[in-house]
């Protein structure tokens, strides 16, 4: 029997549930404190914080680089409950061993270890059990559409439907063989790609799986072209039935070869880690900059009539609209026919205080509140006005993929001088090119580099007016 890897012990059942991991961390910390209280050993108590620190480091680093890509099956209940508890206890044992190796005088008793491991195991198992029940009752299954040819298309869908523990459901089938009528009970079957695409958009389907032969390049390109402007994950599940030597009676989708053609480049774990950093950074920034925010608000209010904040609808992650906040830098005015007019150099609508705020980018500071609301990120592609989104989405190649990240207060394009007015397609293409480079090469180190570059040289720029 193959034993699960160290990372897998702690990653089950879902690496994207950051709250669950934090609850388990709290349980482990409480277990160490409880063990100290039970043992009453004051000499060993000073090492408890080190045991907690090493345990948490081991646990979180075990899955820091793990990408959760399994989509088809849930982990069995015993594995989902027992393996994480075992993983945490292994981390605790490793932490105790490290502290004992570093400090020879540290020798925890057997009773102390039992009082450490037992609450940890019970607490973690209860957390995972409650999480499993909640997911089974209220969890959302991934909606999937399948493209294929003939019986292969229907067989693929039947395989998914037959799995009682599947996390996916098939919402639609596109059979590219016009004369085929193989169906799966209750699943709409299409032969026309345009009608099929309209169905997916109407139902907000999550993923498109292309179960096509390796040589069917024309069909593959047709599907990619039909959904080029949609925020839809597209995965290629090639039909290799003609090139494999043996055929099994059961298809295990966890082991199937799936190639992401159009999908988010970040795992759910990476997104969660980025969200935690965003919230902590923004909370600290709001507290530290509170006097500056108050001073700017007073200056805006006292020098021109109108509200302190300017709100405008923008599109965020997955194209979801939100209200972006800025300090108002222009005199209150009405738009002509609802058409947005970008600020230009020497724009008479800009107030004197507003001109200073725009040159120094201080008008963007209220967007830290957008980050705290979960609508933006500290670093990411800058959000554009919705009118510009509608204009450039079908003109600039790859524009739609900017929506795969939360928009940022600052970004890779901005620190490279691509900011301010976008009065030509060329300027927008260069900005989108930099945004896509950031999305495709994201790392925590890159975010730190952009934040530091913004602080050092990013506030004032010749294109900010």
Is the predicted pLDDT of residue 7 greater than 60, yes or no? Answer: no
SS3 category, 404: helix
CB 208 within 8 A of CB 223: yes
- Token pair, residue 448, equals 């730190």
Q: What CA–CA distance (Å, rounded) separates 212 from 215?
A: 8
Q: Beta 142-148 vs 207-210: how paired, if at all?
A: parallel
SS3 category, 324: strand
pLDDT tens digits, residue range 244-292?
Answer: 444 444 444 444 556 666 777 777 777 888 888 899 999 999 999 999 9
pLDDT tens digits, residue range 202-254?
Answer: 988 988 989 888 788 899 999 999 998 888 888 888 765 555 444 444 444 44
Q: What CA–CA distance (Å, rounded) separates 166 from 22?
A: 27
Residue with tokens 């700017």: 296
CB 127 within 8 A of CB 23: yes
With CA atoms as reference, report the closest residue to 335 among 394, 297, 390, 387.
Answer: 387
Is the predicted pLDDT of residue 401 greater than 70, yes or no? Answer: yes
Distance spanning both ends of the chain, measured CA to CA = 66
CB 449 within 8 A of CB 274: no
pLDDT tens digits, residue range 301-325?
Answer: 888 888 999 999 999 988 889 999 9
Mean residue pLDDT across the chain = 78
- Residue 343: burial class (beta carbons within 10 Å; 0-12, 13-18, 19+): middle
Could you say which DSSP state residue 167 is in?
S
CATH assignment of 142-262?
3.40.50.720
Q: Which of 55-69, 124-138, 270-284, 330-344 has the highest mean pLDDT?
A: 270-284
Say what the pLDDT of residue 45 is. 63
Per domain, the residue ranges of the chain are: 6-138, 142-262, 268-458
Helix axes 18-39, 110-138, angle to 10 degrees: 150
């Amino acid at each position: 029997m193959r034993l699960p890897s160290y990372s897998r012990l702690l990653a089950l059942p879902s690496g994207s549930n950051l709250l669950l991991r934090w609850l388990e961390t709290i349980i482990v910390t409480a277990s160490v404190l409880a063990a100290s209280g039970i043992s009453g050993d004051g000499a060993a108590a000073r090492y408890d914080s080190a045991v907690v620190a090493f345990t948490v480091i081991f646990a979180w680093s075990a899955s820091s680089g793990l990408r959760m890509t399994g989509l088809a099956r849930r982990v069995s209940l015993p594995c989902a409950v027992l393996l994480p508890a075992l993983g945490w206890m292994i981390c605790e044992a490793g932490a105790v061993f490290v502290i004992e190796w570093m400090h020879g005088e540290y020798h925890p008793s057997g009773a102390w270890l039992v009082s450490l491991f037992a609450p940890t195991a019970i607490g973690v198992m209860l957390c995972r059990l409650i999480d499993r029940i909640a997911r089974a009752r209220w969890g959302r299954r991934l909606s999937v559409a399948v493209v294929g040819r003939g019986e292969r298309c229907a067989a693929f869908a039947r395989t998914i439907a037959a799995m009682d523990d599947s996390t996916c459901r098939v919402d639609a089938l596109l059979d590219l063989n016009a004369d085929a009528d193989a169906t799966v009970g209750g699943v709409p079957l299409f032969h026309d790609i345009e009608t099929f695409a309209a169905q997916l958009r109407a139902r907000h389907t999550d993923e498109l799986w292309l179960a096509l032969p390796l040589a069917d390049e024309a069909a593959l390109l047709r599907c990619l072209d039909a959904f080029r402007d949609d925020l839809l994950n597209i995965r290629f599940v090639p039909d290799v039935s003609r090139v494999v030597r043996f055929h099994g009676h059961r298809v295990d989708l966890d082991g199937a070869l799936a190639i992401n053609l159009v999908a988010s480049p970040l795992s759910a774990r990476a997104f969660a880690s980025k969200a935690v950093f965003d919230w902590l950074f923004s909370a600290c920034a709001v507290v530290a900059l509170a006097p500056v925010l108050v001073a700017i608000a007073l200056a805006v209010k006292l020098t021109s009539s109108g509200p302190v904040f300017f709100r405008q609808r923008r599109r965020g992650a997955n194209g979801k609209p939100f209200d972006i906040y800025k300090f108002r830098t222009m005199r209150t005015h009405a738009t002509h026919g609802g058409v947005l007019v970008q600020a230009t150099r020497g724009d008479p609508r800009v107030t004197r205080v507003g001109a200073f705020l725009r040159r120094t980018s201080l008008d963007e500071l209220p967007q830290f509140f957008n980050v705290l609301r979960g609508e933006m990120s500290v670093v990411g592609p800058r959000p554009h006005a919705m009118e510009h989104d509608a204009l450039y989405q079908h003109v600039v190649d790859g524009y739609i993929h900017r929506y795969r990240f939360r928009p940022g207060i600052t970004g890779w394009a901005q620190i490279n001088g691509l900011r301010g007015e976008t009065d030509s397609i060329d300027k927008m293409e260069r900005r989108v090119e930099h945004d896509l480079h950031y999305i495709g090469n994201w790392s925590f180190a890159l975010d730190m580099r952009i934040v530091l570059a913004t602080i050092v040289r990013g506030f004032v720029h010749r294109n900010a007016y």
